[in-house]
Amino acid sequence: MPEPLFRTLLQFCFGLSITAATIAPALATSVHLRNARAEAVSFADLAGWKDDDQKAAFDTFLKSCGAILNGTRAMRAARPFYGALFKVCERAVSAGELDRDRARAFFEDNFKPMRVTPAGQTQGFFTGYYETEVDGSRFPSDEYSIPMYAAPAETVRKRQSKVFADLDRTRIEDGALAGKSLEICYVKSPIDAFFAQIQGSTRVKLDSGKLLRLNYIASNGMPYTPVGKFLIDRGIVSKEEMSMDKIREFMEANPEEGKALRQKNRSFVFFQETALSAHDECIGGQGVPLTPGRSLAVDKKTHIYGTPIWIDAEFPIDSEKPETKFRHLLVAQDTGSAIVGPARADIYFGHGEEVGHIAGRIKQNGQFVMLVPQSVAVSGSAVAAVTNIPLPAPRPKMIVTAAARSSTTGSVSAQRAKRRH
């Protein structure tokens, strides 16, 4: 297994904390997450479940299985929830190609739906993200003057973001890192660089005609602050109208105030080049390619990569009003510093300006239903427990190479070949 993939798996988010509860044998209905409630429901309770294309969800789940099946026996023994997902993945790989009906049956046979709600609330909260596209150059010029920085080797090696802890966004944008040979490329606008950092990845269309793919690798360790709230507080944009487009419009119309607004968010993201082609989707925190509309980022202190999650909400997809029903099964394959909470998720919509407009409008509540493997779900007289698993240190997203991609997808193919013979 390639070393980057192995390290990625060791940094898995195994922080799911489900505690056992004493419940009457025939009435086991709920388990408890930290600061949340997870209530057992049936698939029949999920509005739109039979109308969704679970084959698309199953194919996305198989990508996660490619990473999960590369885990070690020790990992499975130490982390029961992960071990349960491992066994489900073995069955998924051996199942071969499934149509919509058989894929739906697979999830129903292997998982138990649990509706998750934060303490004191009745619904989860969702946003959207995407991969930006910007124009750029390998060399600085009057047109391309804003650097996109790589992280120093020690930041990645130590798997922490404290190397630059004394450098916030203001100091970095004012040139504190200039001349340190960290510049990967240059883009036209600090606004483009800012939004690429928020999204965690970008496609840079170089003036040479080539495409450069950049992915998150580390940050400066400062806390992330959503800048939109400052525009709301000042009455410039209403809470209902707030979106990434509104933030960009303000920054472009007010350069100096826009700079000050950007610097309210002291967090600064560093990038690394990847070997992805124009046809590849960006790589999430699990180290697998994301699937538009089927991958989502979750709080890695609460959820485990590879967990299927059902979302039932109304989003502003077809128009700027939240009237489009979104009832789909997605898979947790990514994370983000702003994604905090047991029923908080960020949906990946793809790349480009068009989907960027949609992703930027998503900020709605809805139902967050986690599919838990049957072996750790409510069953019979007890709730199986996964208790207080220590969290790994934060880690950067995987640097993807052709070899790593081959290993991730190849592991699934190898498992299938093994089953056939």
pLDDT at 233 (0 to 100): 95
The model's pLDDT over 177-206, given as tens digits with 9 standing for 90+, comes to: 998 999 999 999 999 999 999 999 999 999
Cβ partners under 8 Å of residue 401, min gap 6: 2, 4, 274, 275
Query: The tokens of 230 are what?
Result: 């400052």
The model's pLDDT over 6-27, given as tens digits with 9 standing for 90+, comes to: 333 333 333 344 433 322 233 3
Dist. CA 22–CA 378, nearest whole Å:
11
Domain that holds residue 224: 135-273
pLDDT at 165 (0 to 100): 59
Q: Out of 31-40, 58-67, 140-149, 235-244, pick the least confident.
A: 31-40
pLDDT at 155 (0 to 100): 59
pLDDT at 8 (0 to 100): 35
- pLDDT reading at 251 higher than 50: yes
Strands 382-383 and 146-149: unpaired
Residue 253: inside a domain: yes
pLDDT at 193 (0 to 100): 96
Closest by CA to 353, choosing from 190, 197, 130, is: 130
Report residue 218's pLDDT band, with 50, 70 and 90 as the boundaries.
Answer: confident
Residue 178: inside a domain: yes
Dist. CA 353–CA 92, nearest whole Å:
35
- pLDDT reading at 164 higher than 80: no
Closest by CA to 345, choosing from 128, 198, 199, 132, is: 128
- Which residues on neighbouring strands pair with residue 34, listed in sequence order? none
Is pLDDT larger for residue 308 or for residue 285? Answer: 308
Closest by CA to 412, choosing from 124, 167, 65, 72, is: 65
Q: How many CB atoms lie within 10 A of CB 205?
A: 16
Residue 218: inside a domain: yes
Per cent of the chain over pLDDT 90 is 63
Q: For 48-109, give the secondary structure using H, E and C.
A: CHHHCCHHHHHHHHHHHHHHHCCCCHHHHHHCHHHHHHHHHHHHHHHHCCCCHHHHHHHHHH
- pLDDT reading at 124 higher than 60: yes
Residue 240: inside a domain: yes
pTM of the predicted model, to two decimals?
0.76
pLDDT at 36 (0 to 100): 86
State the CATH number of the domain containing residue 217: 2.40.240.50
Residue 113: inside a domain: no
Q: How many CB atoms lie within 10 A of CB 162?
A: 10
User: What's the mean pLDDT in 391-411?
Assistant: 36
pLDDT at 158 (0 to 100): 53
Is pLDDT larger for residue 137 or for residue 387? Answer: 137
Residue 156: inside a domain: yes
- Average pLDDT across the chain, whole number: 81
Number of domains into which the chain is organized: 1
The model's pLDDT over 21-64, given as tens digits with 9 standing for 90+, comes to: 322 233 332 344 678 888 899 999 999 999 999 999 999 999 99
- pLDDT reading at 330 higher than 50: yes
pLDDT at 162 (0 to 100): 53
Residue 95: inside a domain: no
Select, from the ranges 256-265, 276-285, 380-389, the one with the highest average predicted confidence (pLDDT): 256-265
- pLDDT reading at 303 higher than 70: yes
Q: Out of 83-87, 168-172, 232-236, 383-387, pick the least confident.
A: 383-387
Residue 210: inside a domain: yes
